[in-house]
Amino acid sequence: MKKVLLIDDDEALRENVADILGLSNYTVITAGCGKSGVEKALKERPDLILCDAVMPGLDGYGVIHILSRHPDTFLIPFIFLTGENNLADIRKGMQMGADGYLVKPFKETDLLNTIEIRLKKYDRIKKNIVHDKKGISTFLQQVNESDRFNLVSSQRDMHLYKKKHVLYSEGQRPFNIYFVISGKIKEYLINEDGKELITNMYTEGDFIGYTAILENINYTETAQVIEDAKLVLIPKSDFLQLINNDRQVARQFISLLSHNVREKEERLLNLAYNSLRKKVASGIIDVIDKFPDKKEGKPVIEISREDLAHVVGSAQESMIRTLREFKTEKLIEIMEGSIIVLNENKLRHLLY
């Protein structure tokens, strides 16, 4: 049963929310001010925190400031509650590391949805869920089972990166590996004509930038944020120590790098001979495998058309035309730019 901490100075709201969450089978802890909120967060270690932005004394920004710097609490999803639809406030909160926000008064379904989504993503980090065919990340997640919390919390050098931020680019020397708490990152190569091909995608629970360190060379690819991200930086030395000193860890790493090679080989086969139609289909599948977002139970793609084309390895226009085809065939649906996958199975096994 998940534990939610609710910090708000409005008693009526506290009771109301506590009731709703209680009915949805959450354990609810409440606090009436920022100070007691921080204390309870440290003592109870909730799975998620809801916190009013505006409070007398220590306000929401103060709370997140403190909690995001404490090794025991900095990973806990933090959702802001704001009084009005004030963009500036919301932005400030997100900039300080909040994972979401709710504008009061909020609908019950919004509340429950927001909480549920965040908890799911947090689970991916905490439980190190193994995605099938995810490749190397899986391994590192397994490493974590024993070690991550030491690794991460001893360092706890967490940063927020905005969309379009470049983590590193080709030719630079690596100093850290990155561990993704939230957000989406792409890693890509550029050819002489300036065309981009996305080779890897990362989201919560993944590690980024280990290949250059393992080979002891400069980066050969560029990594860029495509959805605002929270990342933990782990120094090169810590990482190498982990890899070099544990035989089991090394062995698993070998298996998974090996797996990665196979994955890339399959993609090679695809790019070499398949029709655009098939390439687009497998690009879509790749993305929903890496970024398992859902909308009403259906997989949904929220990256830009441009990035999707770069995954597929084709011109953007060509890719869009194929999306049209898929839409008329009811394989996908397009809502506000997002691609909702209606028939995943048929896409996976396209005949022509």
Partner DNA sequence: CGTCCAGTTGATACTCTTCAAGCGGCGTGG
Partner DNA sequence: CCACGCCGCTTGAAGAGTATCAACTGGACG
Sequence-distant (6+) residues with CB within 8 A of 144 are 128, 151
Among residues 163 and 264, whose Cβ is nearest to a second copy?
264
Among residues 205 and 313, whose Cβ is nearest to a second copy?
313
Residue 120 CB neighbours (<10 A): 15
Rounded least distance, CB 308 to a second copy, Å: 14
Sequence-distant (6+) residues with CB within 8 A of 285 are 344, 347, 348
Among residues 238 and 293, whose Cβ is nearest to DNA?
293
Site for DNA in 291-330 (CB under 7 A): 304-306, 314-321, 323-324
Among residues 9 and 333, whose Cβ is nearest to DNA?
333
CA dist 47 and 55 (Å) reads 22
Helices marked H in the chain: 11-23, 34-44, 60-67, 87-95, 108-127, 136-155, 210-215, 236-245, 247-273, 276-290, 305-312, 316-328, 344-348
Rounded least distance, CB 90 to DNA, Å: 11
Among residues 58 and 257, whose Cβ is nearest to a second copy?
257
For residue 105, whether the previous peptide bond is cis, meaning omega lies within 30 degrees of 0, is yes
Among residues 153 and 270, whose Cβ is nearest to a second copy?
270
Which residues make up the interface to a second copy (CB under 8 A)? 189, 191, 193, 195, 197, 199, 210-211, 214-216, 220-221, 243-244, 247, 250-251, 253-255, 257-262, 264-274, 313-314
The closest alpha carbon to 182, from 92, 259, 269, 293, belongs to 293
Question: Is residue 317 classed exposed, middle or buried when 0-12, 13-18 and 19+ CB atoms within 10 A define those classes?
Answer: exposed
- Pattern of binders to DNA over 231-270, x per CB under 7 A? ----------------------------------------
Sequence-distant (6+) residues with CB within 8 A of 194 are none
Residue 260 partner contact from DNA, a second copy, none using kind-dependent CB cut-offs of 5 to 8 Å: a second copy
CA dist 305 and 106 (Å) reads 32
Residue 95 partner contact from a second copy, DNA, none using kind-dependent CB cut-offs of 5 to 8 Å: none
Residue 337 partner contact from a second copy, DNA, none using kind-dependent CB cut-offs of 5 to 8 Å: DNA
Site for DNA in 179-198 (CB under 7 A): 193
With binding defined as CB under 7 A, does residue 95 bind DNA? no
Rounded least distance, CB 274 to a second copy, Å: 7
- CA 239 from centre of chain: 21
Q: Is 197 helix (H, G, I), strand (E, B) or coil?
A: strand
With binding defined as CB under 7 A, does residue 86 bind DNA? no
Sequence-distant (6+) residues with CB within 8 A of 61 are 53, 92, 93, 96
Among residues 11 and 265, whose Cβ is nearest to a second copy?
265
The answer to whether 4 and 28 are in contact (CB under 8 A) is yes
Binding site for DNA (CB under 7 A): 193, 275-277, 304-306, 314-321, 323-324, 334, 337
